[in-house]
Amino acid sequence: MTGNHLLDTMAAADRERLLTRVKRVAFGQGETLAEAGAHVAKVWFPVSGVVSLVSPFEDGSAVEVASIGREGAVGALAACGAGVSSMRAMAKHPGEAWVVDARTFCSVHDGSASLRRTIAHYSEVILTEARQEIACRTRHSTDARLARTLLEHSDRSGTDALPMSQELLSSLVGIQRTTVNAAARTLKASGAIRYSRGVIEVASRARLEGQACECYAAMRAFRNAMTRPEPDEAGNDDGPQTRDASRA
């Protein structure tokens, strides 16, 4: 298996076509993988680390819209759509990814009904997660949202040790540092997490899940249902073949 859930759940023929053209690369914390408004040149399938999709503003600030780890891909939706990234993709935690040229990915995508179905399902997951995040911020307590956020980052990165500054943690949960620090102390006192020197460690997943809001279990179940493995029957079909040759 590749270590990336989206790749691993593709039909075998689709996956093999892509794996002959990918390379494994490392990305550092803070590295920009795609810029808002720029042509999508590559599609990234993380196997570790976490990538943040952010919407930048003119004053230099940015708001996180989604996070992507080993469960998904960066650039797969935009590459075979408008071909332009609507958001900035920036590495939140360092890691590694399988990377393929966007034109190669779209060639396989356009010629395979099963891969188009896989990407359509993944697109629905991303949109549903964004909607759930909005609802969660208006409904659930800071402690519960922080527990959910830490669980999701652990799932996406594949590790229980999460590099987290106070600023990053505050931006993820969408609240002031003093409030998120109080929530972190509550989770630490319960034995759910440990933290020191900018690293938060999941000490007890069971306790952390017990304090997380219902959104964590709901989205995990939805994600699993929408990303079941495709049958091994992929092949070329008469799908759309037109692609902008000027795309980088």
Ordered domains of the chain (ranges, CATH) = 5-133 (2.60.120.10), 141-212 (1.10.10.10)
Q: What is the spatial distance between Cα 176 and Cα 92, in angstroms, rounded to a whole number?
A: 19
Residue in this structure with the two tokens 């697109």, named with its chain if needed: 123
Burial 32-53 (b: 16+ CB within 10 A, else e): ebbebeebbbbbbbbbbbbbbb
Burial 190-214 (b: 16+ CB within 10 A, else e): bebbebeeeebebbeeebbbebbbe
Three-state DSSP state, 165:
coil
pLDDT of residue 16: 94
Reading across the β-sheet that carries 42-46, which strands appear in turn? 23-27, 95-101, 42-46
Q: What is the spatial distance between Cα 49 and Cα 32, in angstroms, rounded to a whole number?
A: 13
Phi-psi region of 122 (alpha: psi -120 to 50; beta: other; left: phi over 0): alpha
Q: Which residues of the chain have pLDDT under 50?
A: 234-248
Cα separation values, 216 from 21, 69, 149, 152, 209, Å? 35, 16, 8, 7, 8
Q: Which residues touch 92 (CB under 8 Å, ≥6 apart)?
A: 29, 49, 50, 51, 52, 67, 168
Cα separation values, 171 from 175, 236, 248, Å? 7, 44, 32
| Residue 170 DSSP code | H
Closest residue by Cα to residue 39 from 10, 78, 76, 96? 78
pLDDT digits (tens, 9 = 90+) for 192-228: 999 888 899 999 999 999 999 999 999 999 988 887 7
Is the CA virtual torsion 233, 101, 60, 199 positive or negative? positive
